[in-house]
């Protein structure tokens, strides 16, 4: 029995999230359909996260177990033959039996992309938030810095039964940058709560609009009350950017490094 780790990329506009849905197309079901056509079996696939409808992944990690002897490179090519153009396998590795794409994960990095121009871009429809008001990156970065460190992010998550117990997460990177007309927020942490990144973005856009000040954010964190923070930003600008394991990082170029337990 082999344990395989696969890196996927997908256009979230074409799917209703990762997890299998009863009446909608999901990345998990699409991926498992391709695996079944290649291996003649439908192994249980463990995803590194639960991306929602409309959210994209530059890299998304999946682990599965199989007795099939197909080499990793051949498996990648075969799966890409059967996957739709909206999804692709970037890399395949054999990993120790105990590996689990979600529970072995040490952290993730997300990007939220905003098209900050007066006119919308038809080429970014479903792939970036069109926000045409001016954005002060110095102000936004003052706000973003308030989230770095270990905090209870109850004010910045949607509670629907997914997240229970300790809602403390440690953010190691939080900042904004501009690339032409694109403004991009990058945030990395040891874990994320449901809708956390989108609420962080929505709240910082409230800061950009003058509805909140950066100095208000520590108070909102302390309140542990979702109603104190800003709105949930739309999903189309959100990308899972990197996934971190012990000694191994998943990127849009594939796996970098070697996993060790």
Alpha-carbon distance of 211 to 196, in angstroms, equals: 20
Q: Catalytic: which of 52, 152, 190, 216? A: 52
pTM exceeding the 0.75 threshold for the entire prediction: yes
What's the total number of domains in the chain? 2
Q: Does residue 52 have an active-site annotation?
A: yes
- Whether residue 64 sits in one domain with residue 163: no
- Whether residue 252 sits in one domain with residue 234: no
Give the CATH number for residue 70. Answer: 3.30.70.580
Q: What Cα–Cα distance (Å) separates residue 127 from each residue in 180, 235, 252? A: 16, 9, 16
Alpha-carbon distance of 228 to 58, in angstroms, equals: 32
Q: Are the C-beta atoms of 123 and 191 separated by less than 8 Å?
A: no
Give the CATH number for residue 120. Answer: 3.30.70.660
- Whether residue 73 sits in one domain with residue 29: yes
- Whether residue 96 sits in one domain with residue 6: yes
| Predicted confidence (pLDDT) per residue in 185-218, tens digit | 999 999 999 999 999 999 999 999 999 999 999 9
β-bridge partners, 89: 8
Which of 10, 13, 40, 41 has its CA nearest to residue 28?
10
- Whether residue 225 sits in one domain with residue 203: yes
pLDDT at 163: 52
- Whether residue 111 sits in one domain with residue 55: no
What are the tokens at 43? 């192994």
- Whether residue 174 sits in one domain with residue 201: yes
- Whether residue 151 sits in one domain with residue 85: no
**Structural domain of residue 7, as residue ranges?**
2-104+246-257
- Whether residue 228 sits in one domain with residue 131: yes
| Predicted confidence (pLDDT) per residue in 54-102, tens digit | 999 999 999 999 999 999 999 999 999 999 999 999 999 999 999 999 9
- Whether residue 187 sits in one domain with residue 250: no
- Whether residue 96 sits in one domain with residue 138: no
């Amino acid at each position: 029995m082999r344990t395989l780790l696969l890196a996927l990329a997908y256009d979230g506009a074409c799917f209703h999230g990762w997890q299998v849905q009863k009446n909608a197309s999901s990345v998990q079901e699409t991926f498992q359909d391709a695996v079944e056509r290649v291996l003649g079996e439908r192994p249980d696939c463990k995803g590194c996260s639960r991306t929602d409808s409309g959210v994209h992944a530059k890299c998304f990690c999946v682990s599965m177990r199989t007795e099939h002897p197909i080499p990793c490179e051949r498996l990648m090519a075969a799966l890409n033959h059967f996957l739709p153009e909206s999804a692709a396998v970037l890399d395949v590795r054999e990993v120790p039996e105990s590996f689990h794409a979600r529970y072995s994960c040490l952290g993730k990095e997300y990007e939220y992309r905003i098209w900050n121009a007066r006119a919308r871009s038809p080429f970014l429809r479903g792939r970036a938030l069109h926000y045409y008001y001016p954005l002060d990156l110095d102000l936004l970065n003052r706000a973003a810095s308030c989230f770095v460190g270990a905090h209870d992010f109850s004010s910045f998550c949607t509670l629907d039964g997914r997240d229970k117990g300790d809602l403390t997460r440690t953010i190691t990177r939080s900042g904004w940058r501009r690339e032409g007309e694109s403004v991009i927020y990058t945030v990395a942490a040891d874990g994320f709560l449901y809708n956390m990144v989108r609420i962080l973005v929505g709240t910082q856009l409230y800061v950009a609009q003058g509805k909140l000040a950066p100095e208000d954010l520590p108070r909102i964190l302390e309140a542990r009350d979702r109603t104190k923070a800003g709105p949930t930003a739309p999903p189309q600008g959100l990308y899972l950017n990197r996934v971190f394991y012990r000694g191994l990082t998943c990127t849009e170029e594939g796996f970098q490094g070697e996993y060790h337990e």
